[in-house]
Amino acid sequence: MAKILIHSIVFRPDGVSTAYLYADLVSELKKYGHEIVVLTSTPHYNLVESDIALQPLTKRRLGLYYTSEYDGIKVYHVPMRKARRTFFRILDFVKFHILSICIGGTLGKFDIVLAPSPPLTIGFVAYVIAKITGGKSIYNVQEIYPDFAINQGIFKNNQIINVLKWAEKFIYKKSAAVVVIDQKFADIIAPRVDTLEKLFVIPNFVDSNLYKPGPRQNDFSDKHNLNDKFVIAYAGNIGFAQSWESLIAAAKELSQMPVQFMIVGNGIRKEWLESEIISNDIKNILLLDYQPRDLMPLINVSADIHTILMSPEMDGEGFPSKIYTIMSSAKSVIISTGKNSPLSNLMNKANYGRVVPLNDKESYIQAIIQAYKDRDILHVEGARARKFIELNFSKEAISQQYHNLIEQIVSKNRQK
C-alpha cells in the first residue's frame, strides 16, 4: 500500500464538484489500505455552513494554516479567499503554492502526490512536493490548461502564453503519470507529453448511491411550485463555459408554453444572467442560489429533463461532470455541444441525450418542444442512462483504476 498526498485547490467542506469528487475518491482509496493526507485551501468557493459544521477547521500557527478531518483523514487547509479581481486571485494562488510546498514538504515521506487541475501550476507544486518527500507526482487534467484560460480570453499576451505552454510541457514531463478524464483530452495532450506511456484516461465518476432515481413530485418540487410545469433544469456553475444566450432565447420563445427553466448555482455570470431575466421580464426562469450537495439528488429528480449548453470557446477543453449525476438520477438531457467534444463522445457511447449543434438557438428551441411532446417517454432515456452509469462510472469502478495506477507507479519506483 502507498502513502498518498492529495493536493487540490478545493476539498470538502468546500461546496464544489471537484471537492466532492476528490472527497469520494480519498474515501474509496482508503478502503484499499492506502494512508492518505489532503493538502488544500480553506473553504472559499461555495460556503455551506452545515458542511463546515460537520468538518470544523482548527487554526494552526496563528492562522498560517488550518486542519480538519474528513473520514478519518487529516486535511491541511491553506487560507484562501474568493477574490473577484484578477490581481488578488493571482496573489492568493502564489501564496497558496508557496505555503503548500512549505507544509507538504514537512509532512513526511509520500509515495504519491496526486493533484487535479485547475490551476495548471498545481502540477508543478505536486512535482516539487513529491521531489522533496521522495515520491512521484500524478497530474490529473480536469480541464486543459492553458488552453481553457486562453480561450476564455484571460491570457492574451503571447509571451505569457508561451511561458504557460512551456510550464504545461514541463509538468507533463516531470509527472510520473498524466491522467485525463476523456479520450478527447488524451488526443489533444498526446503531442505534448514526452512519452505516451505516462498518459492515462480515467474518467470522473458519480456516487450512484447518492444520485439515484426518485419521484418527480417531491418536497422540493412542492416548495417551488414545479409540479404542474414541464421543468428543464441546469444545476451547476454559472460561468463562461456555458452558452446562456440560447437558454434566454428559448425562455422568451416558449413563454406561452407550460415550460419552466430552473437554474441552480452560483458563478461569475450569475449577476449578468439575473439582470437579463429582469430586464427582459422573463417569468419562466427560476434562478436559485447554490444548494447543499445533500439536496441535489432531490433537485435532479424534480426536473422532467436537464440541459447543458456548452460555449464554443470551452467545448473542447472542458467537461461538465454534472452529466454523470444527471444520468445517475435517470433523467434525460438536452445538450448543445460540438460533434467531437468530450461531452459528445460520452453521448455517443451511452446512446443517450438529445444533442443539438453549438449556439444553434433554433435547434435548441425545437429540441425543447420535441422533448415536451415526448414527455411521457423521457423516463426510458433516463433508465438507459442510469444503467450505463452503473456499469461504467460508479465510484467503486473508477477508484479501482486510480488504485491500480498508484500501485503500478509505486512498485516501479521501489524497484529502482
Residue range(s) defining the domain that contains residue 223: 219-392
If asked whether residues 289 and 403 sit together in one domain, one would say no
On whether both 224 and 189 belong to a single domain, the answer is no
Q: Kindly report, residue by residue over 44-57, the tens digit of the pLDDT.
A: 988 888 899 999 99
Q: Do 327 and 275 share a domain, yes or no?
A: yes
User: Does residue 387 sit in the same domain as residue 398?
Assistant: no
Sheet holding 285-288, edge to edge: 285-288, 259-264, 230-235, 305-309, 332-336, 354-356
Q: Is the peptide bond before 146 cis (omega within 30 degrees of 0)?
A: yes
Q: For the chain, how far is it from start to end, CA to CA, in angstroms?
A: 17
Residue 201 is predicted with a pLDDT of 97
Distance CA 113, CA 242 (A): 32
Number of domains observed in the structure of the chain:
2
Name the strand (E) or helix (H) holding 219.
helix 219-223
Asked if residue 407 is part of any domain, the answer here is yes
CB atoms near residue 272 (< 10 Å)? 12
Rounded to whole angstroms, the Cα distance separating 60 from 54 reads 19
59 and 98 inside one domain: yes
Residue 143 pLDDT:
87
Same-domain status, 193 and 242: no
Distance CA 42, CA 77 (A): 5
In a domain, 416, yes or no: no
pLDDT at 153: 67
The three-point CA angle 328-318-52 to 5° equals: 65
- Residue 189: predicted pLDDT: 94
In-domain check, residue 151: yes
Cα distances (angstroms) measured from residue 158 to each of 121, 155, 374: 18, 8, 50
Q: How far is it, in rounded angstroms, from Cα 389 to Cα 395? A: 10
Flag whether 214 is in a domain: no
DSSP state letter for 190: G
Same domain, 21 and 100: yes
Computed on alpha carbons and rounded to an integer, the radius of gyration of the chain in Å comes to 21
CATH number at residue 145: 3.40.50.2000
Inter-axis angle of helices 17-31 and 395-415, to 10 degrees? 60
In angstroms, how far is CA 292 from the centroid of its own chain?
A: 15
> What single DSSP character describes residue 255?
T
Q: Do both 143 and 254 map to the same domain?
A: no
Q: What is the pLDDT of residues 258-290, one digit of tens each?
A: 999 999 999 889 999 999 999 999 999 999 998
Q: What is the dihedral of CA 46, 48, 51, 53, to 10 degrees?
A: 130
Same domain, 102 and 119: yes
Name residues whose C-beta falls within 8 Å of residue 317's C-beta, 6 or more positions apart in sequence.
143, 144, 147, 148, 151, 188
Residue 211 included in any domain: no
pLDDT of the chain along its 416 residues, tens only?
Answer: 899 999 999 999 998 889 999 999 999 999 999 999 999 999 998 888 889 999 999 999 999 999 999 999 999 999 998 777 767 778 888 999 999 999 999 999 999 999 999 899 999 999 999 999 999 999 999 988 887 777 766 677 778 888 888 999 999 999 999 999 999 899 999 999 999 999 999 999 999 999 999 999 999 999 999 999 999 999 999 988 899 999 999 999 999 999 999 999 998 899 999 999 999 999 999 999 989 888 999 999 999 999 999 998 888 777 898 999 999 999 999 999 998 898 999 999 999 999 999 999 999 999 999 999 999 999 999 999 999 999 999 899 899 999 999 999 998 887 76
Asked whether residue 386 is domain-assigned, the answer is yes
Collapse the DSSP code of 409 into the 3-class scheme (helix H, G, I; strand E, B; otherwise coil) and give the result. helix
Residues 296 and 402 in one domain: no
Task: Give the largest Cα separation in the chain, rounded.
Answer: 70
On whether both 185 and 307 belong to a single domain, the answer is no
Do the Cβ atoms of 270 and 263 come closer than 8 Å? no
Determine the pLDDT at residue 50.
Answer: 87
Q: What is the DSSP string of 18-84?
A: HHHHHHHHHHHHHHTT-EEEEEEEPS-SSB-HHHHHHS--EEEGGGTEEEEEETTEEEEEE-----S
Residue 99 confidence (pLDDT): 97
Q: Based on the fold, state whether residues 150 and 272 are members of the same structural domain.
A: no
Report if residue 212 sits inside a domain: no
Flag whether 240 is in a domain.
yes
Sign of the dihedral defined by the CA atoms of residues 362, 368, 374, 378, in that order: positive
